[in-house]
Chains A and B, each alone.
Chain A
């Protein structure tokens, strides 16, 4: 029982990332009808927002401390980050320590802006063209974004540690009555999971309970009619693109501590996120979230020693295998709607 629970928990963090990316993909697909191959790049840009914030906070100046000597006997040079000199050493160190959560504040406007520029500058011109063209142009954009990040940040992964307070693990099993040490779980993964839940809940609430969300949902169902009612649906869809981009970006910001960001992390996640979207059902938001978590958990179960000894390498292929089976037996995916992307 505890082993079962542990595997479910283990699948949650990857599942959250899949769900967040797939949610954004589905939002874009459902509103604009565009297949966005550059969505993984948005995830990656989000992660690099955290890297940038961390670098900015660590900008420091050197002072020479006459009282201390380094090993050569020269006066020791002390590096003090600007933040520490502005806010005092304690608060400054705290700010640097919390750079990843702070990066969220920085990432939201950046990602929304990136989303706007992408939609207005490029994708707008591709609504009328074939899906193949959309795939191709966003694929090219993904390459470009990836290479630009590589140019500025290099090819190696960059560590973005979580705050000290949230490091380490917590014994979850004790809390629900298992033996001690049965279920030990890293705190940051829990944070990531709840963060993801929060964002997903926020997006759904936004769509469900606001007038803006209502109009967007109406536009997803029938764009032309909403347009005929005198509503500028294009502008709203652009905003939704910004939202989707911010969701992917935030998923990336918070994923840094779990897996140090590198320039091709987006591509790695993109392929899987597409599979997630297709399994969930093209154009279905709940389907995307559900499929994201399901596939994450499935992957974690397939990675257990029992599974890998029974069928070697099952953890590498399980997601693709499931996707193929689902696509062939339930072509619309788990929760796909009728009439979306059908030919």
Chain B
């Protein structure tokens, strides 16, 4: 199907089904019940799942395939957001031109940064991208918001004001980002007994785009181009010795992943017409690194999982407080209950970042393949119980001799 083999097609279909049915899947608990706080099926959060998923897929094309660890990808996201909001301000609230422009601008921006940064590799590359991103952040935060030439509106963030020109805006159109008249905020709520499901236009736009870019990512992973990128990761020097210039390939990967980031930024602005400089800060770049690693670097589904995982738990953990904890542990004897709550307290609510940091360290240390590898291990464990564990290589092929390290 669509030039995919059976396994990939299944994966794509599963992802498509999951995203389309997300409003159902993420709302398993009846509204108003005690467990309703674990519901994630409201539009704002679901949009964030998808948008960060797109961001992480793009980042994974660079980091997962070529091994170049960029610490400055948030800059492209920020640039995408700014250009989308500018379209809203100057021309129209229609999201198609805004998203298109954000991808194009991010591509140009990443072409420039990539051209410079990719002259170095390894740790130097990380620091160069970090420096570029911090520079863009500083520019957006202060320099480009001077009264004469206000491109970013500094600390306040760029937003649409009533006196903006909006040349193509008609009164009949909604006063919010829309797709040919369909407002991104419009939500259809379906009440089914005690359950309530929200179907949001913006979410479905993001979902369709996610499916498209996920399909593209699969094609990139399976293409000769993707193969070349993997070769860069395993041994760039050898590639160079065979007379092959790897720079155009890595640059293309960098620009593609920059475009994904720009797309995510554009979508973010389309869901909420606002762009701020803090989106470009290096902690934001760090976040996408966390998502990709947590999910599984170099795998197709990993980054999406990681993004969803982090955004879901960020949301849930921040909501849990001591009262909730006391309810949970009410079955324990009083003294022990207080003790358990005391122990868990630093990790919840505002302490979510602590949990995230610990989790991230644990994943890097024990599970370098992320959630995907964890799933595979569990799967293997379950299979191993059914079948007698046979040796790795039942046909006793001679082992390949490992290459001597350079």
Q: Are A and B a genuine interacting pair, yes or no? A: yes
Chain A residues within CB distance 8 Å of chain B: 35, 122, 125, 130-133, 135-137, 139-144, 146-148, 151, 267, 271, 274-275, 278, 282, 312-313, 316-317, 320-321, 323-324, 327-328, 331, 341, 343
Please give me the 9 A-B residue pairs with the lowest Cβ-Cβ distance, nearest first: A313-B143, A143-B357, A147-B354, A316-B138, A140-B361, A144-B357, A320-B135, A140-B360, A320-B131
Q: Give the residues in chain B near A274, CB-CB below 8 Å.
A: 127, 130
For residues 313 through 333 of chain B, which have their beta carbon under 8 Å from a beta carbon of chain A?
none
Supply 13 A–B pairs (Cβ within 8 Å), ascending by A: A136-B289, A137-B361, A140-B357, A140-B358, A140-B364, A144-B361, A278-B127, A282-B123, A313-B139, A313-B146, A317-B138, A323-B128, A343-B237
Most B Cβ at <10 Å: residue of A122, A131, A140: A140
Q: Flag if A131 contacts B123 (CB, 8 Å).
A: yes
Q: Give the residues in chain A near B142, CB-CB below 8 Å.
A: 313, 316
Q: Flag if A147 contacts B116 (CB, 8 Å).
A: no
- Is B215 on the interface with A (CB-CB < 8 A)? no
Complex CA distance for A35 and B134, rounded to whole angstroms: 19
Query: Do A151 and B120 form a contact, CB below 8 Å, given A267-B283, A321-B135, A327-B128?
Result: no
Q: Flag if B364 contacts A341 (CB, 8 Å).
A: no
Q: Give the residues in chain A near B358, CB-CB below 8 Å.
A: 140, 144
Using an 8 Å CB-CB cutoff, how does the interface string of B283-315 with A read, 1 for contact, 0 for none?
A: 100100100010000000000000000000000
Which of A135, A143, A147, A312 interacts with B143 by CB under 8 Å?
A: A312
Q: How large is the interface on B (under 10, 10 to 19, 20 to 34, 35 or more residues)?
A: 35 or more
Most A Cβ at <10 Å: residue of B131, B143, B368: B131
Complex CA distance for A341 and B122, rounded to whole angstroms: 8
Q: How far is the CB of A313 from chain B (nearest CB, A)?
A: 3
Q: Flag if A343 contacts B121 (CB, 8 Å).
A: yes
For residues 79 through 101 of chain B, which have their beta carbon under 8 Å from a beta carbon of chain A?
none
Q: Flag if B132 contacts A35 (CB, 8 Å).
A: no
Task: Supply 11 further A-B pairs (C-beta < 8 A) apart from A122-B365, A275-B131.
Answer: A131-B122, A136-B69, A142-B357, A143-B353, A147-B351, A271-B130, A271-B134, A271-B282, A274-B130, A278-B124, A312-B146
- Is B15 on the interface with A (CB-CB < 8 A)? no
Q: Flag if B289 contacts A151 (CB, 8 Å).
A: no
Q: Flag if A316 contacts B282 (CB, 8 Å).
A: no
Q: Give the residues in chain A near B166, CB-CB below 8 Å.
A: none
Complex CA distance for A151 and B349, rounded to whole angstroms: 11
Chain B residues within CB distance 8 Å of chain A: 67, 69, 116, 119-124, 126-128, 130-132, 134-135, 138-139, 141-144, 146, 236-237, 282-283, 286, 289, 293, 346, 351, 353-354, 356-358, 360-361, 364-365, 368
Complex CA distance for A275 and B130, rounded to whole angstroms: 9
Most B Cβ at <10 Å: residue of A137, A142, A320: A320
Q: Give the residues in chain A near B123, CB-CB below 8 Å.
A: 35, 131, 135, 282, 341
Q: Flag if B135 contacts A317 (CB, 8 Å).
A: yes
Complex CA distance for A275 and B357, rounded to whole angstroms: 24
Most A Cβ at <10 Å: residue of B123, B146, B360, B368: B123
Q: Flag if A316 contacts B124 (CB, 8 Å).
A: no
Complex CA distance for A312 and B126, rounded to whole angstroms: 27
Complex CA distance for A125 and B368, rounded to whole angstroms: 13
Q: How far is the CB of A267 from chain B (nearest CB, A)?
A: 7
Q: Flag if B354 contacts A320 (CB, 8 Å).
A: no
Q: How far is the CB of A171 from chain B (nearest CB, A)?
A: 33
Query: Do A148 and B354 form a contact, CB below 8 Å, given A267-B283, A313-B143, A317-B139?
Result: yes
Q: Give the residues in chain A near B361, CB-CB below 8 Å.
A: 122, 137, 140-141, 144
Q: Give the residues in chain B near A327, CB-CB below 8 Å.
A: 120, 124, 128
Q: Give the residues in chain B near A144, CB-CB below 8 Å.
A: 354, 357-358, 361
Q: Flag if A139 contacts B139 (CB, 8 Å).
A: no
Most A Cβ at <10 Å: residue of B122, B144, B289: B122
Q: How far is the CB of B9 from chain A (nearest CB, A)?
A: 32
Q: Tell me the nearest residue of chain B to A321, going by C-beta.
A: B135
Most B Cβ at <10 Å: residue of A136, A151, A278, A317: A136
Query: Do A141 and B120 form a contact, CB below 8 Å, given A136-B364, A323-B131, A327-B128?
Result: no
Q: Flag if B127 contacts A143 (CB, 8 Å).
A: no
Q: Give the residues in chain A near B144, CB-CB below 8 Å.
A: 313
Complex CA distance for A312 and B143, rounded to whole angstroms: 6
Complex CA distance for A125 and B283, rounded to whole angstroms: 25
Q: Flag if B143 contacts A137 (CB, 8 Å).
A: no
Q: Give the residues in chain B near A267, CB-CB below 8 Å.
A: 283
Q: Give the residues in chain B near A136, CB-CB below 8 Å.
A: 69, 289, 293, 360, 364
Q: Flag if B351 contacts A132 (CB, 8 Å).
A: no
Q: Give the residues in chain B near A148, CB-CB below 8 Å.
A: 354
Most A Cβ at <10 Å: residue of B121, B135, B346: B135
Q: Give the residues in chain B near A312, CB-CB below 8 Å.
A: 143, 146
Q: Give the residues in chain B near A142, CB-CB below 8 Å.
A: 357
Q: Give the residues in chain B near A341, CB-CB below 8 Å.
A: 122-124
Q: Give the residues in chain A near B368, CB-CB below 8 Å.
A: 133
Q: Tell me the nearest residue of chain B to A267, going by C-beta.
A: B283
Q: Give the residues in chain B near A313, CB-CB below 8 Å.
A: 138-139, 142-144, 146
Q: Give the residues in chain B near A271, CB-CB below 8 Å.
A: 130-131, 134, 282
Q: Give the residues in chain A near B122, CB-CB below 8 Å.
A: 131, 341, 343
Most B Cβ at <10 Å: residue of A132, A142, A271: A132
Q: Tell me the nearest residue of chain A to B354, going by C-beta.
A: A147
Most B Cβ at <10 Å: residue of A275, A313, A328: A313
Q: Flag if B135 contacts A151 (CB, 8 Å).
A: no
Q: How far is the CB of B222 from chain A (nearest CB, A)?
A: 24
Q: Tell me the nearest residue of chain B to A145, going by C-beta.
A: B357
Complex CA distance for A35 and B71, rounded to whole angstroms: 14
Complex CA distance for A270 and B293, rounded to whole angstroms: 22
Complex CA distance for A143 and B126, rounded to whole angstroms: 18
Q: Flag if B131 contacts A324 (CB, 8 Å).
A: yes
Q: Tell me the nearest residue of chain A to B355, going by C-beta.
A: A147
Q: Flag if B356 contacts A132 (CB, 8 Å).
A: no
Q: How far is the CB of B356 from chain A (nearest CB, A)?
A: 7
Complex CA distance for A328 and B146, rounded to whole angstroms: 30
Complex CA distance for A275 and B127, rounded to whole angstroms: 7
